[in-house]
Amino acid sequence: MSYVDEVIEQVVKQNPAEPEFHQAVKEVLESLRVVVDANEEKFRKDALLERLVNPERQFKFRVPWVDDKGQVQVNTGYRVQFNSAIGPYKGGLRLHPSVNLGIIKFLGFEQIFKNSLTGLPIGGGKGGSDFDPKGKSDREVMAFCQSFITELYRYIGADTDVPAGDIGTGAREIGYMYGQYKRIKGVYEGVLTGKGLSYGGSLARKEATGFGLLYITAEMLKSNGQDIAGKTVAVSGSGNVAIYATQKAQELGAKVVTVSDSTGWVYDPDGIDLEALKEIKEVKRARLTEYKNYRPNSEYHDGKGVWTVKVDIALPCATQNELDLEDAKALVANGVMAVCEGANMPTTLEATEYLQKSGVYFLPGKAANAGGVATSALEMSQNSERLSWSFEEVDSKLQGIMVNIFHNLDAAAKKYGFDGNYVVGANIAGFEKVVDAMTAQGIV
């Protein structure tokens, strides 16, 4: 049996009931086969893949808090510190009822390669809780965040592990967590990113993931002789990534015709009204059913469906496995040209293969959504030098990073004979730097 197959089998056996983690490991290791095969003897001797798929450490802890009725609630918190070969652990905190250890591990594993791809000195980590901020009062969210950090503070720090936002963790949650960390440690340091502008946050961090997604999408199209201007785009989700992806797509001259949330989706043939979307989601924290009040010409549909609309480009920006084989078939039948992942692993393995076989340009999340963590690393730099850069300065660095990521993964794909396979290219480009650092640092 090949080394890759052996390690995949071990991961499945040693981590039962963690299907998302198995999926992420399979996707990465399968595409690294060509590099691993070429170095099999050395990698085997160093147990390199075994070390790569086993987190350096992981924490699971109780998070008790009191709700508005005086009832004590108990959630579970997680932090997985996956790999620190190239820098302090870096990765978001997901607050969603679906969170479990397997999901955090899949996200942490992906984060290693994503962070490496940015070219910045950040290792891979991820955390979160099964707490659902939806429907909770501000006081309840604060009570949860304070309790969460009261346990987590001992494992994180500006030079060890720097968490950030993710699904369910926005500016409000980061603020409460930062306040509690500072209170306990008595240190004003850049321990979290995604902070508010008044206390060490970076301009353009909020926009970074969505903007970065469009920068790299535009670069990929350009290098394939296409222009993003004039293209029709389907976006899923209506959270942080989706909103700023929509904004940048519009600024680049494309027309976004869909957005969605966990209950339904909107089709607006005239193009999504960005101001209405921001008001509904960022100000009112309401459901997309409200969108029709702003745009009577639009349609609201319950359930899934964004991928049935005829578009040139699909940008899944909601959650994992939201675009399956049936969706991929519908997109291809409608002539889609590119699928670029704003979310983490939104496309199933079967759907990815189908899209690639059908000649669709496919950019994986670890490259396409790396703008968020890249800008988080820029926030860390600003905190370290106690300075704040202008929006334009951060945005232009972000643009440069995304363009670089595309050319690095494109070159890696070509070098190993997988021209145009950006999944293979991203995994190899991310992997090489981490392996180099792990090898140089010995058996740790």
The verdict on 111 binding ligand NDP (CB under 6 A) reads no
**Residue (156 or 235) nearer to ligand NDP, CB:** 235
**Order of strands across the sheet with 232-236?**
299-302, 264-267, 255-260, 232-236, 313-316, 338-340, 361-363
Q: Point out which span in 74-82, 314-322, 405-413, 435-443 binds ligand NDP (CB under 6 A).
A: 314-322
CB of 341 vs ligand NDP, minimal distance in Å: 9
The residue length of the chain stands at 444
332, two tokens: 């291809």
CB of 111 vs ligand NDP, minimal distance in Å: 9
Binding positions for ligand NDP, 245-284, rule CB under 6 A: 261-263
Binding positions for ligand NDP, 358-377, rule CB under 6 A: 369, 372
- Are the C-beta atoms of 256 and 278 separated by less than 8 Å? no
- Are the C-beta atoms of 158 and 188 separated by less than 8 Å? no
Rounded CA-CA distance 347/370 in Å is 16
What lies within 8 Å, CB to CB, of 37 at 6+ separation is: 2, 3, 4
DSSP SS3 for 82: strand
CB of 368 vs ligand NDP, minimal distance in Å: 9
**Residue (345 or 360) nearer to ligand NDP, CB:** 345
CB of 238 vs ligand NDP, minimal distance in Å: 4
Angle at 236 between CA 261 and CA 375, to 5 degrees: 105
State how far the alpha carbon of 50 is from the alpha carbons of 5, 8, 54, 230, in Å: 12, 9, 6, 47
Q: Point out which span in 54-62, 166-174, 182-190, 412-420 binds ligand NDP (CB under 6 A).
A: 166-174
The verdict on 343 binding ligand NDP (CB under 6 A) reads yes
Q: Point out which span in 146-154, 294-302, 337-345, 347-355 binds ligand NDP (CB under 6 A).
A: 337-345
Residues 407-426, one symbol each (x = binds ligand NDP by CB under 6 A, - = not), give --------------------
Q: Which residue is nearest to ligand NDP (CB)?
A: 239
State how far the alpha carbon of 123 is from the alpha carbons of 119, 149, 189, 434, 444, in Å: 11, 21, 18, 9, 15
- Are the C-beta atoms of 287 and 261 separated by less than 8 Å? yes
Q: Point out which span in 64-72, 336-344, 400-408, 423-431 binds ligand NDP (CB under 6 A).
A: 336-344
The verdict on 116 binding ligand NDP (CB under 6 A) reads no
Which residue from 318, 363, 367, 378 is in contact with ligand NDP, where contact means CB under 6 A? Answer: 318
Which residue from 29, 142, 143, 167 is in contact with ligand NDP, where contact means CB under 6 A? Answer: 167
DSSP SS3 for 406: helix
Measured in Å, how far apart are the chain's first and last C-alpha atoms?
26
CB of 124 vs ligand NDP, minimal distance in Å: 13
CB of 236 vs ligand NDP, minimal distance in Å: 7
Provide the Cα torsion 286, 288, 291, 292; round to 10°: -120
- Are the C-beta atoms of 221 and 361 separated by less than 8 Å? yes
**Residue (124 or 239) nearer to ligand NDP, CB:** 239
Number of residues near ligand NDP (by CB under 6 A) = 23
Q: Point out which span in 51-59, 225-233, 313-321, 430-438 binds ligand NDP (CB under 6 A).
A: 313-321
114 is catalytic: no
The catalytic position among 126, 136, 195, 281 is: 126
* Nearest one of 60, 136, 63 to 103, comparing CA atoms: 60
The verdict on 344 binding ligand NDP (CB under 6 A) reads yes
Binding positions for ligand NDP, 146-165, rule CB under 6 A: 165
Which residue from 20, 27, 166, 207 is in contact with ligand NDP, where contact means CB under 6 A? Answer: 166
Three-state SS string across 35-60, please? Answer: HHHHCHHHHHHCCHHHHHHCCCEEEE
- Are the C-beta atoms of 439 and 49 separated by less than 8 Å? no
DSSP SS3 for 178: helix
Residues 207-246, one symbol each (x = binds ligand NDP by CB under 6 A, - = not), give --x---------------------------xxxxxx----
User: Which active-site residues does the annotation give?
Assistant: 126
- The footprint of ligand NDP (CB under 6 A) covers 165-168, 209, 237-242, 261-263, 317-319, 322, 342-344, 369, 372
